[in-house]
Structure 1
Amino acid sequence: MLEKEKLQRINTLAAKKKTGSIEKNELEELKGLRGEYLKNFRSSFRAQVENTKVIDPEGNDVTPEKLKRIQEDKKQ
């Protein structure tokens, strides 16, 4: 998870960008921090999806086969 300080820095730099008072080096920093944030978000989201099981109203497992294969590969 991204540290609280980094999230605050992203927000601070985004606010500066919105007002037009951001410097070139700060813009590069913002780009890097956003990239790090997105990488972390995607990783967390993928892990959540890969641990999901889909059940229909009748109680049948209807998890897509592709997801089942990924889950089986992770168990090994």
Structure 2
Amino acid sequence: MSRSRGGCAHVCNEAVVRHAGKHCRWVRGASVDDAVSALLLEAMAPAAIDVSHAVQQEITQRVEHAAARHATAKRPL
């Protein structure tokens, strides 16, 4: 990625790096960043929901376990 007057630009450096050639292609950075962000959020949303559900279940189990231990500890011998 490089900086230009209009902001960032994603630049293909393959020819420059490997063959001392010219940049083969460039795209304004904002449009690429927006597209990548949208795809990332689309891909991550189901996983994030699954993880938050698993965390909620774990918290519920821990609370229930702690409540059971507390009730057992309060029982007279």
**TM above 0.5:** no
Compare CA radii of gyration and give the structure with the larger one: 2
TM-score normalised to the size of structure 1? 0.38
Q: RCO higher in 1 or 2 (8 Å CA, sep ≥ 6)?
A: 1
TM-score normalised to the size of structure 2? 0.37
Structure with the largest fraction of strand = 2
